Amino acid sequence: MIGRVMTKEPTKVACKLTVRGLVQGVGFRPFVYRLATQTFLTGSINNNNHGVEIRVEGLSANIDTFINNLKTKAPTQSHIESIYIEKQALHGFSYFKIINSTTLSDEITQISPDIAVCNNCLADRKTQAHRHNYAFINCTNCGPRYSIITSIPYDRENTTMQTFQMCATCQSEFSTIDDRRYHAQPIACNQCGPHYQLISPGLKTTNYEEILSSITQLLKQGEIIAIKGLGGFHLVCDALNKTAVQQLRKKKKRHDKPFAVMFSDSNMVTQYARCSQHEKKLLESWRRPIVILKSTQSFSIEITKGMETIGAFLPYMPLHHDLFSRFHSPLVFTSGNLSNEPICIDNTQAQHKLAPVTSHFVWHNRPIQNRVDDSVAMVVNHKTRLIRRARGYCPEPIHTQYNTDGILASGAEMTNTFAIGKGNQAIQSQYIGDLQDYETHQFYQETIQCLGKLFNFKPQIIAHDLHPDYLSTHLAEKATLPTDGIQHHHAHIAACMAEHLLDEKVIGVAFDGTGYGTDGHSWGSEFMLADLAGFQRITHFDYFGLPGGNAVIKKPWRIAISLLYKYYGTAFLQMNLPFLKAIPEHQITLIVRALSKSINTPLSCSAGRVFDAVAAMTQMCLNTTFQAQAPMLLESAVNPHIHTAYPITNLRPISLQGIIDGVIKDIHRNEPVTNISARFHNSIIQIIIKQAKRIRNHHNINKVVLSGGCFQNAYILSKLEKLLAKEDFQVYTHSVVPANDSCIALGQMVIAAKRRTLCV
């Protein structure tokens, strides 16, 4: 709500402005101070639990200018949601002052995500004697935020910097209003702040120059180094050294998943990958996510593992910049963990956990309070799409159209995030991971506690998935609070609707790997009519068996056999399909027997599993070691010049026979995998368009909402979005939260909030 002050007399007036949004920890108070003094206003500003409160006195025209500048010139990292203006009686301030923070109520305050080190700070390291090459330099516009906060309001004593006593110089900068570090809570210098330490066999040092030259030398020798960062440890090695990367894979037990690579700057990125203006901007933004780019120059297969893309990101801490001033080529920067566990944040724990990977550790003594992984994003159809939402994004809230107070949305199971509701906002946790992993589950529980404390949140209702075996469902069952069970794919569609503040009947298309259906089967190719209150399932793929249940996720060949058996019975064994030759005969017999007798063969209609089957049939991927590996490889293989698709017959439920027939014919014709992959992808796109048109004709609804992990497939998303728009649909896709199961919590949140309004 924005009011205006309309006083014509040249006499002084006074007013109070309550500014809400992301206005703490982003240099907002000093910015307001400068604005106020420039426009000859007196008064005060303070952080409180609402945001900031500003009192100004002066000429009416000057106050107008002040308000206008406030809206247009605020620091880039800040985000003003609303300014509420009240007229007040004159208080008689003689100057403008910044008042220390107060605790007011349990209303929301936004907490800034961590911000990459800014260029001014990088320059200061060259000119300021007390910060010469200082590795933890920061200012009111940059540095650690969420990763170090222990409590609100965001003041030094509520961060892990509280143990570092400011030196006289830092103290004076901190209290000098015109200084770039005025009230920069993590302010520090060489004398008084945190520092790095290198622990390596035969060498232990805190001398920063020595650390940097040792790291460089070790990297050149092909060694792996564990380096503590902003939100956790990284494992680092020379990206162009094949043996080093191989070693890292073996020791980290990460056999196939591509590694993220850090480059010195976007110029270096363009030597290895295609990078649009939008992608460059995203790479260089203060959020500094890993951006998935099409690679032009092949890295060793050890890095890309058959994908045509590379996860690239740029330095965001001073140490990263320093490394690249000595080491002039790309570095693997992968999370400091073993396979699926959460990344290490504690020095001792890292030394113990990462011992099988490396004996070289570079850590610092600024504790990480909140673990935050690097975020991952891509750009499709000129929009940023998040794949993993963590560092640089969390805990920025997402606005919702309903009151979410007291709702805890526990999320799904894989790629879990959860969300807490405050006011009209969903505060989504950072990426948590796969809850089946014991330590990830602990991280989940700790983060629920931690966000609850930070935002003074007390759960009144728990919204959860319907899957009886999800640990996020168990959380709801164990609590003595009212619960709201929400179907997985309904939550997907609702999450995307929430991003666009939609609440009306839409055509929801949820394509993903798995989700518990109301009929007890595993869903994942859902066409539904949905609003936030409920949904009606219209159609889906024909059910097929998953021989061995969950185990099929790692064995795409079993799904291929299941689909072949479904449409041809045992006749498929005589079809001379090459992929079958790679599988021991007794295993094939076992799977066929399980299918014929329906032993441990739950039913599924998951689109993700169909991608798995085609990847197996084309011999791209028979077994997997990480989630979505088969669809990712299949997508990488698409020949973009092929525009044909396989025929689709039945639509209710949608038969996959045409696709399987087509794939077999192409295999027999020795068609290249790239063409088969393209036709398969085009068929999926065609099915969605056909269904959407059919539903529109029946129900007169023109809005299509797409959600689910399959829409992380850039080929499908990019083509489908354009083709649906061409058919005059209004298309809604994800941008703020990932399309994968990391969005489930947001969907659960808005559905529970909506349903609560209906109960009142």
Positions touching Zn ion (CB under 5 A) are 118, 121, 139, 142, 167, 170, 189, 191-192
Which is nearer to Zn ion, 140 or 440 (by Cβ)?
140
CB of 86 to Fe ion, least distance (A): 46
Nearer to Fe ion, 423 or 602 (CB): 602
Residue whose CB is nearest to Fe ion in the complex, by number: 512
635 binds, among Zn ion, Fe ion, none (CB under 5 to 8 A by kind): none
Q: Which is nearer to Fe ion, 152 or 491 (CB)?
A: 491
Measured distance CA(229)–CA(122) in Å, rounded: 17
Smallest distance from Zn ion to CB 151, Å: 23
Instruction: Look at residue 26 and give the partner it binds from Zn ion, Fe ion, none, a contact being a CB closer than 5 to 8 Å depending on partner kind.
Output: none
CA distance 716 to 410: 29
CB of 195 to Zn ion, least distance (A): 12
Is there a cis peptide before residue 395, judged by omega within 30 degrees of 0?
yes
The sign of the CA dihedral 675, 676, 677, 681 is: positive
3-class secondary structure per residue, 442-509 = HHHHHHHHHHHHHCCCCCCEEEEECCCCCHHHHHHHHCCCCEEEECHHHHHHHHHHHHCCCCCCEEEE
SS3 752: helix
Contact partner, 167, from Zn ion, Fe ion, none, Cβ < 5-8 Å per class = Zn ion
User: What would the DSSP string read from start to end of 70-102?
Assistant: HHHS--TT-EEEEEEEEEE-----SSEEEEPP-
**Least distance in Å: CB of 474 to Fe ion?**
18
> Shortest Cβ distance from residue 129 to Zn ion (Å)?
11
Asked if omega into 653 is within 30° of 0 (cis), the reply is yes
- Return residues touching Fe ion (CB under 5 A): 512, 515, 741
Asked if 318 and 137 touch (Cβ cutoff 8 Å), the reply is yes
118 binds, among Fe ion, Zn ion, none (CB under 5 to 8 A by kind): Zn ion
Phi, psi (degrees; rounded to nearest 5) at 180:
-65, -15
| Binding partner selected for residue 512 from Zn ion, Fe ion, none, CB under the kind-specific 5 to 8 Å limit | Fe ion
Shortest gap between Cβ of 716 and Fe ion (angstroms)?
Answer: 15
CB of 73 to Zn ion, least distance (A): 18
> Could you say which of Zn ion, Fe ion, none residue 189 binds, taking C-beta under 5 to 8 angstroms by partner kind?
Zn ion
Q: Shortest distance, CB of residue 738 to Fe ion, whole angstroms?
A: 10
Q: In what order do the strands lie in the sheet with 203-205?
A: 203-205, 196-200, 361-364, 225-228, 233-238, 331-335, 260-262, 309-313, 290-294, 376-380, 383-388
411 conformational bin, left if phi > 0, alpha if psi -120 to 50, beta if neither: left
142 contact choice in Fe ion, Zn ion, none (CB below 5 to 8 Å, kind-dependent) = Zn ion
Q: At closest approach, how far in Å is the CB of 488 from Fe ion?
A: 6
Partner whose footprint covers residue 741, from Fe ion, Zn ion, none (CB < 5 to 8 Å by kind): Fe ion
What value does the CA radius of gyration of the chain take, rounded to a whole number of Å? 28
**Burial tier of 2 (Cβ tally within 10 Å: 0-12, 13-18, 19+):** exposed
- Whichever of 27 and 258 has its CB closer to Zn ion, that residue is 27
The residue (of 279 and 512) whose beta carbon lies closer to Fe ion is 512
Between CA 293 and CA 289 the distance in angstroms is: 12
Which DSSP letter does residue 143 get?
A: B
Residue 114 Cβ vs Zn ion, minimum distance, rounded to whole Å: 12
Q: How far is the CB of 722 from Fe ion (least distance, A)?
A: 24
98 binds, among Fe ion, Zn ion, none (CB under 5 to 8 A by kind): none
179 or 308: CB nearest Zn ion: 179
Complex with Zn ion: residue 75 or 367, whichever CB lies closer: 75
Contact 703, 506 (CB under 8 A): yes
Q: Are 44 and 37 in contact (CB under 8 A)?
A: no
State which residue, 161 or 486, has the beta carbon closest to Zn ion: 161
Measured at the alpha carbon of residue 269, what is the angle toward residues 253 and 713, in degrees to the nearest 5? 60
Answer with the entry of Fe ion, Zn ion, none that 634 interacts with (C-beta below 5 to 8 A by kind): none
- Looking at beta carbons only, is 538 or 739 nearer to Fe ion? 739
What is the 8-class DSSP label of residue 166? P
Q: What are phi and psi of 461, to 5 degrees?
A: -150, 140
Which CB sits closer to Fe ion, 58 or 515?
A: 515
Counting runs of H as helices and runs of E as strands, what totals does the chain give?
Answer: 23, 29
Buried b (16+ CB within 10 A) or exposed e, 702-716: ebbbbbbbbbbbbbb
Q: Which is nearer to Fe ion, 63 or 495 (CB)?
A: 495
Rounded to the nearest whole angstrom, what is the least distance from the CB of residue 125 to Zn ion in the complex?
Answer: 10
Q: Of 499, 504, 496, 492, nearest to 532 (Cα)?
A: 504
Work out what residue 121 binds among Fe ion, Zn ion, none; the CB cut-off runs from 5 to 8 Å by kind: Zn ion
**From Zn ion, Fe ion, none, interface partner of 170 (C-beta below 5 to 8 A by class):** Zn ion
Residue closer to Fe ion by CB (options 125, 388) is 388
